[in-house]
Amino acid sequence: MMRVLDIDLDFFLADCCPLAEPGQRPALAGHEPWSEAQVIAFLEEQCGLRADAPLPGRVFETHDQALSFWEEKLAGGELTAPFHVTHVDAHSDLGIGFPGPNYVLYNVLSIPVERRCDLAFFYAQRKLDEANYLLFALAMRRVASLDNVRNPRSRADIPQELVLGWPRSVLLGDEKLIVEQHQGIFACTETEVALKTLCGLLVISGEKLSLSRYDRDGLVVFGKIEKLCYRPKG
């Protein structure tokens, strides 16, 4: 598996600085950058980079441009997916702030994988930015595994929806239900599908029910869906 090193320069600040007004720079006090020697030592000793053995890369003004760069390298055959990402940043870039993670969780994941890669569409909808591009990369199945290397003073900013293991379900009309983060199938008949989840059994009742997809991203229930409810474990 190929590995990608993804670095945001705000990692190299004394503390995480708040966003500045458009066109302005953040206040320096309390957010002083590391010394040149400290940055070089981190890059060489922790990241394995060397000035005499440069690796392919690119510098961007905003971090979400890394996603377009990865797509470019994939198209050119210089990168293969899925790949591992080591993300060195003061922030997780997994959907903190507006628009948050829900657009990816409930809109992007509900469409076929090949349509999730239309970056121009998501930019036009103002849904893709530097605060959530890694979540998009995961939804696009570009990233197989992710290491988040945080600034020692980074705030907790990974959305709870991503880490607590809660099930997610999206009902499209009354004939299609997408379920993510379940823990397996408990029972399946034409009138009832029961899925094991962190919250208990998620029971889908209806007529002519069937499972059309079952993989690491979840499953899709088709049929006449009449009711969803939880039953306690056991």
Q: What is the largest CA-CA distance in the chain?
A: 67
Which residues are within 8 A (CB) of 126 and not within 5 positions of it... i.e. 6 or more apart? 99
Q: Which residue has the tokens 């600040």?
A: 13
C-alpha distances (whole Å) from 135 to each of 17, 59, 69, 105 are 22, 20, 16, 9
pLDDT digits (tens, 9 = 90+) for 109-158: 878 888 899 999 999 999 999 999 999 999 999 999 999 998 888 877 77
Q: How far apart are alpha carbons 140 and 128 in whole angstroms? A: 13
Domain parsing of the chain, residue ranges: 3-163, 168-231
Radius of gyration over alpha carbons of the chain, in Å? 21
Which residues are within 8 A (CB) of 213 and not within 5 positions of it... i.e. 6 or more apart? 219, 220
pLDDT digits (tens, 9 = 90+) for 168-217: 788 888 899 988 888 888 999 999 999 988 888 999 999 999 988 755 56
pTM, whole model, 2 decimals?
0.72
- Evaluate whether the domain defined by 168-231 bears CATH number 2.60.40.2000: yes
